[in-house]
Amino acid sequence: MGILNITPDSFYEGSRITDARSEDLVSRAGYLLGQGASILDIGGYSTRPGAREISAAEELDRVLPAITAVRRHFPGAAISVDTFRAEVAKAAVHAGAHIINDVSGGNLDPEMFETVAGLKVPYVLMHMRGTPQTMNSLTGYQSFPADVIRELREKLARLRELGAADIIIDPGFGFAKTSAQNFALLSALPLFGQLGCPVMVGVSRKSTIYKTLGVSPGEALNGTTVLNTIALMNGAQILRVHDAAEARQAIILTEQVTNSKL
C-alpha cells in the first residue's frame, strides 16, 4: 500500500502533495504503482501527533480530486482512502475508492461502522486511543499487547454484527504507543492472527525508527525495510509504505525464505 498524502503537514516531507489537482499527484501515484504498489492510500488529514484539526469540507476538497485524478490516469489501481469520518468515507467510495482505512478504528465517528458495513467495501480497522492531538498521553495499558487485541476483538464483533466484511487489522504502530511498545508490538505480531483477519503494518519512516537510530525521517528508509521484513516474517500481509520498491523487494525475498524447500 503506497502512501499519497494530500497534506501540507504530514511528518515525512517527502510524502506531501499540497495540491490534489497538480501533476505532482499523478506523477507520485504513477511512481508508486510502477515501483510495485498494489494499493494507493489517499489521505487528506494528517494524523501525526499533534496534527492540526481540519474540517470535513477541507478534507473532502483534498481527497475527492485526488480520487478522480487517480481513476482517470490509472483506472486499474486499487484506491484506499485514509479517513476517520463516515461522511468522507461515503463520498470517497461514491467517487470511486475501493477501501476505507480508518486510523481511529471507529472511535472518532460513531457512524463509521454502520457506514462501511452499508458500503460493502474492505475496511482497515486500526487500533488507536484518543485523537491525533491526545494519543501520546494514552499509552498506559494494564496488559500489553493483550489490551490492544482485546479492544480490536470487541470492535470486530460489532462490525460483523452489522454485516461488515473484508476487515483488515492494523495494530496501530505509533498511535497511543510508546517506542518500546511499538517494538513489543512487532514481536507480538503473530498473536494478531487469532483475530482471523489479514494484518497490515504501517511503520514506514516513523519516529520509532528515526529516533532510535538518531537520524531524520528522510534517512529512515533502511530502518523501515528492516522492520518491514520483521513484520512480514511475523505474519503481516500488507505493508503501508512511502517507498514501494524497497517494500516490494522485502516481500519477494521474505517469500523466498518462508516458501523455501530443499
Domains along the chain with CATH numbers: 2-258 (3.20.20.20)
Render each residue's pLDDT in the chain as its tens digit; 262 residues. Answer: 999 988 765 555 555 676 666 688 899 999 999 999 999 999 998 776 655 677 999 999 999 999 999 999 999 999 999 999 999 999 999 999 999 999 999 999 999 999 999 999 999 999 999 887 788 888 899 999 999 999 999 999 999 999 998 999 999 999 999 999 999 999 999 999 999 999 999 999 999 999 999 999 999 999 999 999 999 999 999 999 999 999 999 999 999 999 887 7
CA gap 245, 228 in Å, rounded? 12
Q: Give the CA radius of gyration of the chain.
A: 17
- For position 49, what pLDDT does the model report? 61
Question: pTM here?
Answer: 0.92
- For position 260, what pLDDT does the model report? 83
- For position 19, what pLDDT does the model report? 66
- For position 16, what pLDDT does the model report? 61
Q: Which of 149, 165, 249, 235 is nearest to 198 (CA)?
A: 235
- For position 20, what pLDDT does the model report? 60
Residue 72's CB: how many other CB atoms inside 10 A? 10
Q: Which of 170, 167, 174, 160 is nearest to 192 (CA)?
A: 170
For the annotated catalytic residues, the residue numbers are: 206, 240
Residue 94 neighbours by CB under 8 Å, 6+ apart: none
Cross-strand pairs, 41: 3, 80
Write the CA distances from 193 to 95, 124, 152, 169, integer angstroms: 33, 15, 12, 9
